[in-house]
Structure 1
């Protein structure tokens, strides 16, 4: 409960903020939308106020007002993160970019798109498609997440093996710095070595060094063929061999290589709502996707490769999608849209590991979790070819109390450290992983990060306490 003095101070701060932002509505109290209180994996925390600017100039106005009043502030997009990176603590100002939407330009000749940061990823994908081009970044939250959030977390997704991470798909950005300065560097050149590549400071920094307001994205030729197969293999050595074979035979057309351990497959097809595209059986399930430019040539090439690995005994069983509906069905087996709801309270992990040690990690981690936390279940899946393994751990029928969650973290991240991996492959650090940052970064690296933060945000008002 707040006492009279606290309420008075709060009202005074809000009045001062509104006085500084006369042209922008300030939402506070019961007017704060629930969407601005939490991301997909953290409990609600309502900010002092929410402001929804329309452009970089208005973002800068909010930044300057917060600095004048000594108020911490954070940029928010689609709020689909999993690590608390965009969550505003009580007393903070949330700068929601939800009204900063729209495709400003599609340059077909240059293969670029200039877009406002609050635009949904799916809108970007559709705009590229309508222009006869292709934007390859893709994640499960495509309809809700914003492109600014994708860049601030350096999102990965399903096609990193071919196109790279989000930072590889950006040519230029417009950014509002923590002191209110607007840096407009909407570069459209693929080759530009004129000094430091400043955009990379902000891509992947989780909104701690600046607020991305606009971006120039790289577009690619639209795939004219899309061939997808789901395979079952007996052991992990066969999975690695299949990846090498796919790279050798399919070359740059290989766009996805998704691996599901048998525990994930069983969970997804038993209570995750997915009708099994393949007969159940022991081993590993691998979804392989190839995108090309000529259906007449590409599909027979894929079929010949798939037939060869089956004839050799490398693949125990497989199914090849014959239609768009079947492609979507095979992808549904991997995306597990309903699995989380069926599991209930759970802890999600996104780690990076050497390819050769992923199965060893999964085996040791599963056994250790079960031994140290009786009743703990865990399942494993990932992109694999880009070094990214995901796992989900939960206690059936129970909530994850603080102690089991802490124990799970200790086990998972301890193993990651021993195997020279990363505690975050694509989701970021936020607040939920910051205590484990030293498991993946050296003291010298963390010290340099702190120097960068202090140089750009000496008052520590922009998204403080995140990552470091």
Structure 2
């Protein structure tokens, strides 16, 4: 192993490899277990990434790609492995205003990529709570979703091309910039969402959109779950496709983010069944704003919402989103287990009732906090039972009912290590066998992020 470290130090140059106690100190994240890597490789180019993989492969040492280290499923756990950080490959290489594309290196922080698109008069619609730390490589490898999936889709819907390095160091330069390109297999889709188990993403081509000229945001109170899907379909239809976010907070979550020590304050009075953040993006600030308020007036008049507040400034809009993003509050009452699931909207109410009853039946003082994107079927559940050793029991309760209801154990966070045992609840035996075939074909030595996704 000392020989491997020495070889990597020579090939990566000054600052290219962190080892020893320094590596152990950097292997920390409040969100996920990173383990103790043998060393942290910090390449500056695709060629150096390829060299790391070739060198590690010859030594039979696993390599675990690291992005912003804000994942929630232990997908970057690198115990005894070489952690591969692309933090020094963070350049925005090109923005093409005619073709509406952005070429960016995988180590670029998502927020910086979005800001660069905005400065060029264009729009990268990928947005999530970890925008300030998540990297392009991380969001591609996990197929991140976020707040605007209902309109723009997941990460894979925004990617035109990728550059990927395979386990043996082969570089796949699939940097397509065309929207239409039906020339055989769409190879990039193999790597989007594969969590670094099939190859290491080093560069990406994003499809950009026209920069919205208007942004209308409102906070609604809704009574009764039955009103939620009706409200969603109503605003989506009457806004003519401009709806970009439909975020729902259950009352326990709303209480947490609007009471001390949280910084947020109530926008609408407590006591309602649900609180909904609705947002639309458009091209005409005056007309879009008027239309947005007309739609809300209609849903209030028809009883689909009990109350509503429309943001009149960017500050008010930020205040609404700050409540939705203040997920840290869910951990303030003790240890919790965080879940990211999806299922058909008509199944949600019964599913949550089943989970809540099972939790309180086992632990009478159990707490279940729920919020989610809902419009795309994605719910986040945070369960606390007062017992830090109860994770497996809680997972059985949360994941158990999903298969019969056509749900998924992972909507957007990935599989990593934490959900590996539960993947058969969402994928058939034939699908899992094909995944393993792909893994063994592209990574026959099993050095790329071993143990994740397919084991």
Q: TM-score, normalised by structure 2?
A: 0.96
Equivalent pairs, count: 453
2:388 aligns to what? 400
Residue in structure 2 matching 1:169, options 147, 155, 158: 158
User: Match of 1:28?
Assistant: 19
Deviation of the 1:344 alpha carbon: 4.0
3-state SS in 1 of match to 2:239: helix
Change over 3 Å in CA distance of 1:12–1:105 after alignment to 2: closer
Kindly report which structure 2 residues correspond to 1:1-40, keeping only aligned pairs within 5 A, or say none: 10-15=1-6, 17-18=8-9, 25-32=16-23, 34-35=25-26, 37-40=27-30
Structure-to-structure mapping, 1:448-467, within 5 angstroms: 448-467=434-453
Distance in 1, matches of 2:404 and 2:286, equals 48
CA 1:180/1:24 → structure 2, altered by over 3 Å: closer, same or farther?
farther
What stretches of structure 1 move > 6 A for 4+ residues in a row? none
* 1:57 maps to 2:47: yes
Out of 385, 401, 414, the residue aligned to residue 428 of structure 1 is 414
Indicate the larger mover: 343-352 or 65-74. 343-352
- Structure 1 segment 155-166 matched on structure 2, within 5 A: 155-166=144-155
Partner of residue 67, structure 2: 77
Aligned to 1:122: 111
State how far apart, in whole Å, the 1-side matches of 2:154 and 2:362 are. Answer: 35
Unaligned runs of 5+ in 1: 1-9
**Which of the numbers 252, 263, 270 marks the counterpart of 1:273?**
263
Cα distance in 1 between the residues matched to 2:312 and 2:396: 45
* Superposition TM-score, scaled by structure 1 size: 0.94
> What's the CA shift for 1:39?
4.5
Which of 198-207 and 312-321 deviates more? 312-321
User: Matched residues in 2 for 1:391 and 1:292: separation?
Assistant: 32
Cα offsets for 1:260-284 (capped at 9, x unmatched): 1122222222344320000112311
Distance in 1 (alpha carbons) for counterparts of 2:436 and 2:28: 26
| CA deviation profile, 1:100-151 (whole Å, cap 9, x unmatched) | 0111000000000000000000000100000001100001111111011000
Aligned partners of 1:141 and 1:42: how far apart in 2?
13
Counterpart position of 2:82: 93
Please name the residue that 1:441 is paired with.
427
Aligned counterparts of 1:246 and 1:76: Cα–Cα separation in 2: 39
Q: CA RMSD in A?
A: 1.6
**Unaligned 5+ runs, structure 2:** none
**Counterpart Cα distance in 1 of 2:30 and 2:359:** 24
CA contact (8 A) 1:39 1:84 kept: no
Which of 220, 243, 246 is the aligned partner of 2:209? 220
Q: How far does residue 21 in structure 1 lie from its aligned partner after superposition?
A: 5.5
The alpha carbon displacement at 1:341 in A equals 4.9
Aligned to 1:6: none
Q: Which of 200, 216, 220 matches 1:231?
A: 220
